[in-house]
Chain A
Amino acid sequence: MARLVIDPVTRIEGHLRCEAVVSNGKVKDAYSSCTMWRGIEVIMKGRDPREAWVFVQRLCGVCTTVHAIASVRAVEDALKIKVPRNADLIRNLIMGNQCVQDHVIHFYHLHALDWVDVVSALKADPAKTSELAKSISSWPNNSVTYFKAVQDKLKAFVERGQLGIFSNGYWGHPAYKLPPEANLLAVAHYLEALDWQKEVIKMMAILGAKNPHPQTFLVGGMAIPIDPESQNAINAGTIAALNKYADMGIEFVEKVYIPDLLAVASFYKDWTKYGGNSNFLACGEYPEANGKLWLPAGVIKNKNLKEVYPVDHKKIMEYITRSYYTYSKGEKAGLHPWDGETTPNYTGPKPPYEYLNVDGKYSWGKAPRYEELPMEVGPLARVLVAYASGHKEIKEVTDMVMKKLGIGADALFSTLGRTAARGIITLVTAYKIKDFINELATNIKNGDLKIANTEKWDPKTWPAEAKGMGWHDAPRGALSHYIVIKNKKIENYQMVVPSTWNLSPRDHKGVRGPVEEALVGTPVADSKQPLELLRTIHSFDPCMACGMHIVEVREE
């Protein structure tokens, strides 16, 4: 049996370490560990709740915006503030834009190199790549000359010997299955996506002042004014610009991302056998005018798509038995975030170290559980819950994807299913953004310029004590923030974030977290080059700065 360590796990946000036990070419057991801690919740204590979003947004700059949204929602819940529809619409646009851009970056820049062999692209016949491109999409960059040029650039780059970010990849690994033509196509789109992402995100820059870390959120609404008669507010010109970036999003997702995803997936269908989980949680997202959420919330247990349970945040408990913390109620206790405690208790090896002590505590991440069960959150959870609930757009696109790949719904419980689900969610969201823009334009036409509810802006209007929680189904999954306000200040601030769910260590019962569980059974052709493990880890799109902030503040 070999003990395999990947540290750092790259092409993710933040610092993740993974240890696996491999025997007979398969993963027997796995441990995921967060190796960085900043203590953001400790920092939140005593601050102005209206500012919390500015701080917690800095949990993560990759999934920027998501913590800001969950934060303003938590404070609005605590102070019973209803935000104007326009504010919800602007937030929906920011969230939607983030989802589309972030998932495309994930596919091409963080995940693709697990499936695409860059060096093999050098052997491709550009004419064949052009044929392939034309057969799967009407995207205009598809000529032989174009692919030849990309290949020449790549060649020159490799020949100069300064491989930069591509150096020391697992090139030539036997688990790479794409023909050279497809590899060249993917490399070309890797570069195109780099250029596209900085443009499409301008929707957020317009509405949020900048990206990453937009700066127009507000408890009670948004700080960006609307006025068709002003040049310093959202006006007709803004709406036109938003439409431009929305179309740019749809076009790329429809014509590049989805065709590439399907083409790559068709060579890796055996990856529907690995990397699955059984329990899923989605918290729902995108408030509609009727007060409902466009994407539904729900819990799925034991892969049973026939039953979707409602979500109740009170059923969330966090455990620290295998995490670097202690609880006053004992090592096996589970605490709801509102009652959470955090006392760091590092018992791991002193750096520099070779192996973690995986029989004891081994991560800065806590283990959140829902009714004592680990839950996978993220695109796959969102798609499965919506699919099982009969959501029209999700059902249509999911059925289309399954048909094209010739797989059934069972196959979705896998690494490939997770990667496909991300594409599905991106496509339906890219379309939905247009509806939100249209609704905003109609409101403006009808004279509704309201962007913020300021009745409770002044802390003098607040109760002496209040507590609230905010959900947000972020690109990486269900996110929840919890706040307790006392004497106009933050008394307690806590967050249960997507990567805490997915990358969680074992719990009080020794049950593995979702990524750990998903890794078991993964084939490993060469334990010195654990490419296969990276496929499953990356399919979750880990975001570790988020995942390991976890420390709660509590007044003794």
Chain B
Amino acid sequence: MEKETIYEGLVRRGVSRRDFLKFCATTAAVLGLSSSYVPKIAEAMEKKEKPVVVWLHFQDCTGCSESVLRATKPTIGQIVLDVVSLEYHETIMAAAGHQAEKSLHDAIHKYKGKYLVVVEGAIPTKDGGLYCCIGGRSALDILKEVAKDAAAIIAIGTCATYGGIPAAKPNPTGAVGVRDIIKDKPVINLPGCPLNVENFTATVVYFLTFGKLPKTDNLGRPLFAHGILIHDNCERRGHFDTGEFAKSWGDKEHRLGWCLYELGCKGPFAYHNCPTIRWNDGTSWPVMAGHPCVACSEPKFWDDYAPFYFADSGSRDSFFAKATKIGLGAIAVAGLTKRENK
């Protein structure tokens, strides 16, 4: 039997034409595309077969998968049953052990050159990679084998993109991101700890619509999600500009929603679309809930952006000195120093 298209799948699951077009429009918005692209996206969804996806878990916490499970537009049920054909995903697949291995093996042979690989978690390279084994094989071996005949690779979360928490100092297992190992395939980085599912969906849809991966910055991140500083889109920016800062947890300024910069906010250094798309179907994001941003979309944020809190101006100054030294967000630092001197 003919394989169905994404649109057919969605219709079969009871999605109306109207909701389908809404989904295309939301995705266009996340992608930063004008509404004139909506028909193009819709057309691709109507014509293209569901892409086959193989999902690999390495040194991860499954937080990125959980984040994808929270998808609302479309829902996860629609994503795994209709938008893509998920052939291998350890957390939710029915098969186990040899049967699971068979699913992986079948998928990469049957869809050779056509399947998408999603990688979640870092890859340990120390001691021959023995710190992460699945089915008796190292993550390193599995990644190389599965990547070989992939159409493209989507690295999700800060672990798979830049090594993330296992790579935090002293990186006991020699953990690295996908791009450190796979050099001959298109790899897109969707960092965040976890990644935001809306950026995942948008990337998949972009790939289906335009047949290639979206444009990226020099860290391999799509510009639609990582092109603008959090600080430049933050709803509290007005308070920053007028020098209105929360100074202590639960003080009047904190309650009123003033800028969190003096409590340690790293929004001025982080390129991420949290303020515009937020999390969990637009419910909230850290600054909105009263806690500073920790720059989880940035490589090595566990080391380079610590301390996450500033106890006093001393710790803040030493952070800026470090930031300047290692060349983080140079423009941001300059801007902040200027405002400090006002």
B308 on interface, CB distance cutoff 8 Å = yes
Q: Is the CB of B96 within 8 A of A209?
A: no
A240 at the interface (CB under 8 A from B): no
On whether A165 and B63 interact (CB within 8 A), knowing A159-B1, A205-B280, A216-B291, the answer reads no
Task: Choose one: A48, A59, A162, A529; the contact of B50 (CB below 8 Å).
Answer: A162
CB within 8 A of A351: which of B3, B61, B141? B141
Residue A133 at the chain B interface, CB threshold 8 Å:
no
Chain A 202-223 interface 0/1 with B at a Cβ cutoff of 8 Å (1 = within): 1001111111110110101101
Name B79-122 residues within 8 Å CB distance of A.
Answer: 80-81, 85-87, 89-100, 102-103, 106
Q: A76 to B237, alpha carbons, bound, how many Å?
A: 33
* A7 to B255 alpha-carbon distance, docked (Å): 50
B63 touches A212 (CB 8 A): yes
Q: Given A15-B57, A55-B168, A205-B284, A168 and B100 touching (CB < 8 A)?
A: yes
Q: Specify the chain B residue showing the minimal Cβ separation from A458.
A: B311
Report the bound CA distance from A166 to B96 in whole Å.
11
Check: B216 CB closer than 8 A to any chain A CB.
no
Kindly identify, within residues 1 to 19 of chain B, every residue whose CB is under 8 Å from any CB belonging to chain A: 1, 3-4, 12-14
B40 to chain A, nearest CB (A): 25
Tell me if A14 counts as interface (CB < 8 A to partner B). Answer: yes
| Bound: A233/B124 CA distance, A | 42
Whether B71 is near chain A, meaning CB under 8 Å from some CB there, is: yes
Complex contact B85–A61 (CB within 8 A): no
CB-based contact B249/A169 at 8 Å: no
A36-B59, A346-B127 as given contacts; A207 in contact with B69, CB under 8 Å: no
Query: Cβ of B92 and Cβ of A109 under 8 Å apart?
Result: yes
Say whether, besides A37-B173, A51-B309, A351-B133, A168 and B3 are in contact (CB < 8 Å): no
Nearest CB of A to B97, in Å = 4
**Counting CB contacts under 8 A, is B250 at the interface?**
yes
Q: Determine if B254 is an interface residue (Cβ-Cβ < 8 Å).
A: yes
| B residues 287-342 touching A (CB-CB < 8 Å) | 288-291, 294, 302, 306-309, 311-312
Assess the B280–A211 pair: CB atoms within 8 A. Answer: yes
User: How many Å from the CB of B53 to the closest CB on chain A?
Assistant: 9
Would you call A421 an interface residue if the criterion is a C-beta within 8 Å of the partner chain's C-beta atoms?
no
Partner of A218, one of B1, B71, B128, B249: B249
Contact partners of A359 in chain B: CB under 8 A:
none
Chain B residue nearest in CB terms to A353: B136
The size of the chain B interface, using a CB distance under 8 A, is: 98
- Whether the Cβ atoms of B96 and A545 lie closer than 8 Å is no
| Nearest chain B residue, comparing its CB with the CB of A538 | B96
Whether B175 sits at the interface, judged by CB under 8 Å, is yes
Given the interface pairs A36-B133, A213-B194, the reply to whether A195 lies near B77 with Cβ below 8 Å is yes
Specify which of A5, A11, A39, A207 is in contact with B289 (CB 8 Å cutoff): A207
B62, B290, B307: the one contacting A545 at CB < 8 Å is B62
Alpha-carbon separation in the docked complex, A351 to B86 (Å): 27
Asked if B61 contacts A61 (CB within 8 A), the reply is yes
- The interface residues of chain B lying within 8 Å CB-to-CB of A449 are 250, 255
- Of B1, B65, B249, B279, the residue contacting A61 (CB under 8 A) is B65
- A230 at interface, CB cutoff 8 A: yes
A residues near B250, Cβ cutoff 8 Å: 221, 225-226, 449-452, 454
Q: Does residue A149 face the partner (Cβ distance < 8 Å to B)?
A: yes
A8 within 8 A of B: yes
Would A201 and B70 count as touching, CB distance under 8 A?
Answer: yes
Does B232 sit at the interface, judged by CB under 8 A?
A: no
Bound together, the chains give a CA A451 to CA B248 distance in angstroms of 11
Shortest A66–chain B CB gap in Å is 12
CA of A232 to CA of B58, assembled, Å: 38
| Inter-chain contact B249/A223, CB cutoff 8 Å | yes
**Residue of A whose beta carbon sits closest to that of B279:** A210
Chain B residue, CB-CB nearest to A344: B172
Using known A-B contacts A61-B64, A230-B255, determine if residue A452 contacts B76 with beta carbons closer than 8 Å: no
Shortest C-beta distance, B192 to chain A (Å), equals: 10
Task: Map CB proximity to B onto A313-352 as digits: 1 under 8 Å, 0 otherwise.
Answer: 0000000000000000000000000000000001011111
Contact of B280 among A14, A194, A210, A352 (CB under 8 A): A210
Q: How far does the alpha carbon of A257 sit from the alpha carbon of B194 in the complex, in Å?
A: 28
Which of the residues B94, B97, B131 comes within 8 Å of A113, measured between beta carbons?
A: B94
B306: which A residues are within 8 A, CB to CB?
Answer: 47-48, 51
- Greatest chain A CB density within 10 A among B85, B164, B169, B171 is at B85
Task: Evaluate whether A223 and B136 lie within 8 angstroms (CB atoms) in the complex, with A153-B13, A195-B75 already known.
Answer: no
Cβ-defined contact, A10 with B135, below 8 A: no
Contact of A209 among B52, B102, B279, B311 (CB under 8 A): B279
Which chain B residues (127-161) contact chain A, with CB distance < 8 Å?
127-138, 141
B312, A458: Cβ atoms closer than 8 Å: yes
Q: Which residues of chain B are near A232, meaning CB under 8 Å?
A: 255-257, 288, 290
CA distance A149 to B12 in the complex (A): 9
Q: B288: which A residues are within 8 A, CB to CB?
A: 209, 232
Residue in B91, B285, B290, B302 with the greatest tally of chain A CB atoms within 10 Å: B290
The docked-state distance in angstroms from the alpha carbon of A262 to that of B60 is: 34
From B80, B124, B307, give the contact of A51 (CB < 8 A): B307
Q: How far is the CA of A105 from the CA of B92 in the complex (A)?
A: 10
Residue B166 lies at the interface, judged by CB distance under 8 Å to chain A? yes
Residue pair A233, B280 in contact (C-beta under 8 Å):
no
Complex CA–CA separation, A505 to B17 (angstroms) = 54
CB-CB under 8 A from B4, the residues of chain A are 156, 160
Do A194 and B255 have beta carbons less than 8 Å apart? no
- Given A51-B308, A60-B61, A165-B94, decide whether A7 and B172 contact each other with a Cβ distance below 8 A: no
Q: Which of A1-51 contact B (CB under 8 A)?
A: 5-15, 17, 35-40, 42-43, 47-48, 50-51
Q: A194-B75, A198-B72, A530-B97 are in contact. Are A210 and B1 (CB under 8 A)?
A: no
- In the complex, whether A534 has a CB less than 8 A from a CB of chain B is yes
- Cβ contacts under 8 Å, A162 to chain B: 3, 50, 52, 85
- Chain A residues with CB under 8 Å of B76's CB are 194, 198
Nearest chain-B residue to A534 (Cβ)?
B96
Q: Judge whether A211 and B249 touch: CB under 8 Å.
A: no
B291 and A7 within 8 A (CB): no
Q: How far is the CB of A165 from chain B (nearest CB, A)?
A: 5
| A209 B129 Cβ-Cβ under 8 A | no
Pair A10/B96 contact, Cβ less than 8 Å: yes
- Decide if A11 touches B166 in the complex (CB within 8 Å): no
Which residue of A is nearest B132, CB measured?
A36
Q: Are A164 and B1 in contact (CB under 8 A)?
A: no
In the complex, are the beta carbons of B257 and A233 less than 8 A apart?
yes
Nearest-Cβ distance from residue B275 to partner chain A, whole angstroms? 12
Report how far A37 CA is from B100 CA in the complex, Å.
Answer: 22
- Smallest CB separation, B106 vs chain A (Å): 8
**B-facing mask of A234-250, CB < 8 A → 1, else 0?**
00000000000000000
The answer to whether B178 has its CB under 8 Å from any CB of chain A is: no
**Residue B238 interfacial (CB < 8 Å):** no
Closest chain A residue to B252 by CB distance?
A: A227
Instruction: Using A54-B294, A213-B193 as known contacts, say yes or no to A164 and B66 having CB atoms under 8 A apart.
Output: no
Known: A13-B61, A40-B166; 14 extra A-B contacts, CB below 8 A, are A15-B90, A36-B131, A60-B63, A61-B60, A164-B80, A164-B85, A195-B75, A209-B291, A213-B194, A216-B290, A224-B289, A232-B256, A354-B136, A450-B250
Instruction: List the 4 shortest-distance A-B pairs measured between CB atoms, nearest first.
Output: A61-B63, A232-B257, A169-B94, A39-B172
24 A-B pairs with CB atoms under 8 Å apart are: A13-B91, A35-B133, A36-B59, A42-B172, A43-B172, A48-B309, A54-B294, A110-B91, A162-B50, A164-B85, A195-B75, A202-B281, A202-B283, A212-B67, A216-B289, A223-B291, A232-B290, A351-B136, A352-B136, A354-B136, A449-B250, A452-B249, A459-B311, A530-B97
B residues apposed to A, CB below 8 Å? 1, 3-4, 12-14, 50, 52, 57-67, 69-72, 75-77, 80-81, 85-87, 89-100, 102-103, 106, 124, 127-138, 141, 164-166, 168-173, 175, 193-194, 248-250, 254-257, 279-281, 283-286, 288-291, 294, 302, 306-309, 311-312
